[in-house]
C-alpha cells in the first residue's frame, strides 16, 4: 500500500487544520490506521489511531479533546482534524497503517508510512 499525507501548513496558534491521508490499493478497510508526528532530534511519537470499524479511537494525552481521527473507507482515506493548535503541535505528521499487534500506540506495529506533511504553528 502507498500512503500520501497532505493538508499541512503554517497557521497561527488557535487555528485548525485537517490532515488527510489517501491510501492506494484495496485493503485500506482491513487495517487500523494511525497518525504520528516528529520534530527534529526527537523520536516519532504517536498522535492518534482508529480501528478498522472506527469504533476504537486512541489519542496521545496532549491532543485529547483537540484532535479527532476519522476515516472514510469508501475513499480509502484517514483524516486528522486538529483544532486549537499550539506551537507545541509543530511537527511533521505521518500517517501509517497498523499491520499487527494489539497496541495502537506502538510504532513497531505499523508497517506502511506516508511521506509526512509539515504542520507549523506560530505563536
Averaged pLDDT, 11-20: 98
pLDDT band at 100 (very low <50, low <70, confident <90, very high): confident
Q: How confident is the model at residue 105 (pLDDT cuts 50, 70, 90)?
A: very high
Report the share of the chain in percent with pLDDT over 90: 89
Q: Is the pLDDT of residue 26 over 80?
A: no
**Dist CA 45 CA 107 (whole Å):** 8
Dihedral sign of CA atoms 38, 39, 42, 47 in order: negative
Task: Report the C-alpha gap between 109 and 10 in whole angstroms.
Answer: 30
pLDDT band at 25 (very low <50, low <70, confident <90, very high): confident
Mean predicted confidence (pLDDT) in 34-49: 97
pLDDT value at residue 33:
96
Under DSSP, the state recorded for 121 is E
The whole-number average pLDDT for the span 25-40 is 92
Quick one: pLDDT at residue 27? 86
- Rounded-to-integer distance, Cα 65 and Cα 68, Å: 8
Query: How much is the mean pLDDT over the chain?
Result: 95
Mean local confidence (pLDDT), 23-39: 92
Amino acid at each position: 500500500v502507498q500512503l500520501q499525507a497532505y493538508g499541512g501548513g503554517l497557521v497561527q496558534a488557535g487555528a485548525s487544520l485537517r490532515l488527510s491521508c489517501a491510501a492506494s490499493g484495496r485493503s485500506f478497510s482491513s487495517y487500523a490506521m494511525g497518525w504520528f508526528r516528529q520534530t527534529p532530534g526527537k523520536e516519532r511519537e504517536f498522535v492518534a489511531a482508529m480501528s478498522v470499524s472506527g469504533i476504537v479511537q486512541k489519542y496521545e494525552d496532549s491532543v485529547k479533546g483537540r484532535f479527532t481521527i476519522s476515516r472514510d473507507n469508501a475513499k480509502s482515506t484517514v483524516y486528522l482534524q486538529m483544532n486549537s493548535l499550539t506551537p507545541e503541535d509543530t511537527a511533521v505528521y505521518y500517517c501509517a497503517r497498523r499491520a499487527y499487534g494489539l497496541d495502537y500506540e506502538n510504532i513497531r506495529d505499523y508497517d506502511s508510512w506516508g511521506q509526512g506533511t509539515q504542520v507549523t504553528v506560530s505563536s
